[in-house]
Structure 1
Amino acid sequence: MSANTPRLRIKLRLEYDSPLILGPGKAELLARIDRLGSISAAAREMGMSYKRAWTLVEEMNTAFADPVIDSARGGAGGGGARVTPTGQEVLRHYRALETLLREAGAENLRALNALLRPEGAA
Structure 2
Amino acid sequence: MTGDDLKVRLKIELPGAVRLGYGKVDLLRAVEEHRSISAAARSMGMSYRRAWLLIDELNKCFSEPVIETSIGGRAHGGATLTPTGIRIIEIYQTARDKVQDAIKDELDQLAASLAENPQAD
The bucket for the TM-score relative to the shorter chain is: 0.7 to 0.9
Give TM-score, length-normalised by structure 2: 0.86
CA distance in 1, matches of 2:118, 2:46: 32
Deviation larger for 25-34 or 100-109: 100-109
Match of 2:65 in 1: 67
RMSD: 2.0
CA distance in 2, matches of 1:96, 1:5: 18
Deviations along 1:39-62, one digit per CA (max 9) or x if unpaired, are: 111000000000000000000000
| CA 1:99–1:19: 2 relative to 1, 3 Å | same
- The answer to whether the 8 Å contact 2:3/2:109 transfers is no
Match of 1:52 in 2: 50
Deviation larger for 55-64 or 7-16: 7-16
Bigger RCO (CA 8 Å, 6+ sep):
2
Equivalenced residue count is 119
Match of 1:32 in 2: 30
Match of 1:100 in 2: 98
| CA 1:115–1:85: 2 relative to 1, 3 Å | same
CA distance in 2, matches of 1:4, 1:49: 36
Q: Which of 18, 21, 33 is the equivalent residue of 1:20?
A: 18
- The answer to whether the 8 Å contact 2:37/2:48 transfers is yes
- The answer to whether the 8 Å contact 2:3/2:104 transfers is no
SS at match of 1:18: helix
Deviations along 1:2-22, one digit per CA (max 9) or x if unpaired, are: x33666431100112223110
CA distance in 1, matches of 2:118, 2:20: 34
Residue identity in the other structure for 1:30: L
Structure 1: runs of 5+ lacking an equivalent: none
Deviations along 1:73-103, one digit per CA (max 9) or x if unpaired, are: 2356411000000011100000111111112
Moved over 4 A (4+): 5-8, 116-121
- The answer to whether the 8 Å contact 2:2/2:112 transfers is no
Match of 2:81 in 1: 83
Give the % identical residues.
Answer: 39
